[in-house]
Chain A
Amino acid sequence: MSTAIAPDSTPVVDLAGSSHSAVIGVSIKDPSDTPVDSSPATGRPYANPYLAGVGIGLVLLAAFVVAGRGLGASGAFSSAVAAGTAAFAPSHAAANPALAEYLGDGVSVGPLRDWLVFELAGVALGGFASAALAGRLRGAVERGPRIGSRGRLAYAMGGGVVMGVGARLARGCTSGQALTGGALLAVGGWIFIVTAFAAAYLAGPLFRRQWT
């Protein structure tokens, strides 16, 4: 039961989390009736953030020790875009340096045979497994009470476009620059941490209606 994907607004019975029954059945249309509005809408409560953070730190350290490089996410999107462009317009992709660097060696190694592509596929698998075991799988569009699903999806997609441009310009995102660069004490990583958080706080009020 706890591994089933619950459709929108359907109360989910979580057999394991009886001590947290206050959050069970809270629909996304009415998110503000719990004091901590970011507890999970279904399933067991989230882990201690420090424990999860130390866990991510150890995973990052394992990546350094095993592969000699850190974690990433946006690079896998670049590989996917390069692969897609190359499938439709191979000469166009090969002529564009922003895509060509993600095309592999063009012989035995294709654009998707890439460390970050496999790592990000793992991220999806690991996230799915964790949510399934905690009863937190949930088919939904996360949003506040004053915005419809379409509006929220538009913000999500628009934000994705802006992040895609920003991550390419910065040569990485929260994983590749903030976490990895930050842990390696790279100057660019710390520039990214400061500028990304500053911009998010400054622009936050513009997008708050999604959540309140």
Chain B
Amino acid sequence: MTLPLASSDLPTTGLGLAGALAIGAAFGWCLERAGLGSARKLAAQFYLRDLTVFRVMFSAVATAALGLFWLSWLGWLDLSRVYIPETFLAPQAVGGLVFGVGMVMAGLCPGTACVAAATGRRDGLAVIGGMLAGVFLFAEAFPSIQRFYDSTPRGPLTLPDLLHLPYGVVVCAVVAMALGGFAGADAVERRVRRRMAEVGQ
């Protein structure tokens, strides 16, 4: 078991930060290639005109989940040394709801806003400014939110733990769900576009 190379203590060495920059650059490259630096394209996901966000996101999740499974099954990667985001049921459900409203209002998410801003879109820059303000507001309100923020902790809980299913079975289910979703996405887009053409919109 040699991987991951670094432990999950944040690598703040020069080499670690250079790696972060390189990995981020590849991420930003892919986001821009997909068209996700464009608020108009991203927002179209939520009006069912263009389901690129869904396609990109679920092919990414399925690819990485499959990769993690195989690397760990082959014994090359020690999954217990990969940092798994901790679960806090209530704040994450509420946070997700709040975030979703902000995302469709902004037409961008935090990462894609950086791509939008870097490629000249001033609305991307406005989203970044808003994010900074929102994060600041959250910090100022933190003393009165803290109890809720720390409520319903479940630690690094995963779906296989929760459902008492083998890891590989859950990965297969995620991949199957993605493939089914891709087929559904094509059908939804065709219908919405046909209807838009009829309305003449």
User: Which A residues are closer than 8 A to B by beta carbons?
Assistant: 5, 31-32, 35-38, 40, 46-47, 49-71, 73-74, 77-78, 80-82, 84-85, 96-99, 104, 109, 113-116, 118-131, 134, 136-144, 149, 152-204, 206-208, 210-212
Binary contact track B80-113/A, C-beta < 8 Å → 1, others 0? 0111111111011111111111111111111111
Q: How far is the CA of A196 from the CA of B104 in the complex (A)?
A: 10
CB contacts (< 8 Å) of A99 on chain B: these are 139
Q: How far is the CA of A148 from the CA of B39 in the complex (A)?
A: 15
Closest 3 CB pairs of A and B: A164-B134, A160-B130, A122-B24
Taking the closest CB of chain A, its distance from the CB of B161, in whole angstroms, is: 8
Taking the closest CB of chain B, its distance from the CB of A43, in whole angstroms, is: 10
Quick one: which of A65, A159, A191 contacts B106, CB cutoff 8 A?
A159
Quick one: which of B49, B61, B161 contacts A183, CB cutoff 8 A?
B61
Q: How far is the CA of A87 from the CA of B8 in the complex (A)?
A: 28
CB contacts (< 8 Å) of B97 on chain A: these are 166, 195-196, 198-199
With A38-B40, A67-B5 as contacts: A125 and B28 at CB distance below 8 Å: yes
Taking the closest CB of chain A, its distance from the CB of B79, in whole angstroms, is: 8
CB contacts (< 8 Å) of B21 on chain A: these are 118-119, 121-122, 125
User: Which B residues are closer than 8 A to A by beta carbons?
Assistant: 3-8, 10-12, 16-35, 37-41, 43-47, 49-50, 52, 55-65, 67-68, 71, 77, 81-89, 91-124, 126-140, 142-143, 145-146, 149, 154, 156-162, 167, 170-171, 174, 182, 193, 197, 201
CB contacts (< 8 Å) of B35 on chain A: these are 38, 40, 46-47, 49
Which residue of chain A lies nearest to B41 when distances are taken between CB atoms in the complex?
A38
Quick one: which of B17, B68, B136 contacts A184, CB cutoff 8 A?
B68
With A55-B30, A163-B99, A169-B98 as contacts: A5 and B120 at CB distance below 8 Å: yes
Which residue of chain B lies nearest to A118 when distances are taken between CB atoms in the complex?
B20
Q: How far is the CA of A114 from the CA of B108 in the complex (A)?
A: 24
With A115-B20, A126-B24, A195-B97 as contacts: A164 and B123 at CB distance below 8 Å: no
